[in-house]
Amino acid sequence: MSRKTKRWLLQLQILLALLALASFVFYQQVGIAGSNVLTPVQQQLLKTVSNSTNYSMSERKTFQRIMPVNDDLLEKVFITVKTTGRNHLTRLPVIIKTWFQLAKKQTWFFTDTNDQHLSQVTGGHVINTNCSATHSRRALCCKMSVELDVFLESKKKWFCHVDDDNYVNVPALDELLKMYNPIGDWYLGRTSTPKPLQIRTKFQGYKTTFWFATGGAGFCLSRALVLKMAPISGNGKLMAIGDRIGLPDDVSVGYVIEHLLKIQLTRVEQFHSHLEPMRLIKKDLFNEQLTFSYSLDNDPNTVDVDGFNEITDPTRFLSLHCFLFPEASNCVEK
């Protein structure tokens, strides 16, 4: 072997060693470990295929199966459903029949009354916050404060809040959170206003402007961010924040994060609330959406999906669930 060839092989070995070291340092910095973790290139490729309409659903699922995935990520998620006693028999049954079955261990119902039946059907995943059963600002802030405190006690990495009129697309939520590291300060959600909210607090003479994620569409917070919020809004202090700005829980959370902590909201348009027309969400994009909602007022606002009749399924959540997961047991007789 010539001296030139030996020098070239040595240089190649040094280059490979440097690349290996750089990769190790990178993954240590982002807090990822394990052989089943996607590389940045794989993550982008999987995202492209999953979101592209050029691939059939079977092709997308096949592609995802052959990619290495972090299967235990959803185990690190704490999902809270804010509800109230009067909604236990009206709003919760369809949730328990559908998406709750995909995230039984991760999902907890935060309410304002004891309910033995609800506790039984959810495996004990019910927490009585002892907050008021009204829909007042203080009652809402009280429940949100308890949700955040219990999340910190759980040692989970992600906090995701939804309301009792939300459907959660569990696999899509899993995929979303794989794109972010919980050791960073992440505030993921959707705004309900075209411009930042502008308020004047009771104790300040100037206007405050900030974005907030709509609680009715759902939002997620990283553990690192909730830990930073705790000295300001933990242990019931969120109620005082709500009193200061005169606004409810989701706005108070946004005030703490964006205004006080100076951490920006990361907009994720796949969260949805009944404040927007559900029928405008296209069926071929259902799999990519994170949450859906409904309103059954005089002019019902529900997702446009075929399936069960409107008497059996007025919220359309059961039909939506069967569209997303046709193999589910309660979809066989559809």
DSSP per-residue codes, 119-166: HHHTTS-EEE----SS-SHHHHHHHHHHHHHHHHHHT-SEEEEEETTE
The residue type at 301: N
Q: How many residues does the chain have?
A: 334
Which one-letter DSSP state was computed for residue 181?
-
DSSP per-residue codes, 46-87: HHHHHH-TTS-HHHHHHHHHHS---TTGGGGEEEEEE--GGG
Q: In angstroms, what CA-CA distances link 144 with 137, 138, 223, 231, 253?
A: 11, 10, 15, 15, 9
Q: In angstroms, what CA-CA distances link 254 with 90, 197, 198, 207, 334?
A: 29, 10, 12, 15, 41
- 300 Cβ contact partners less than 8 Å away, ≥ 6 residues apart: 294, 314
Q: Are 161 and 78 in contact (CB under 8 A)?
A: no
**Residues with catalytic function:** 250
The residue type at 206: Y
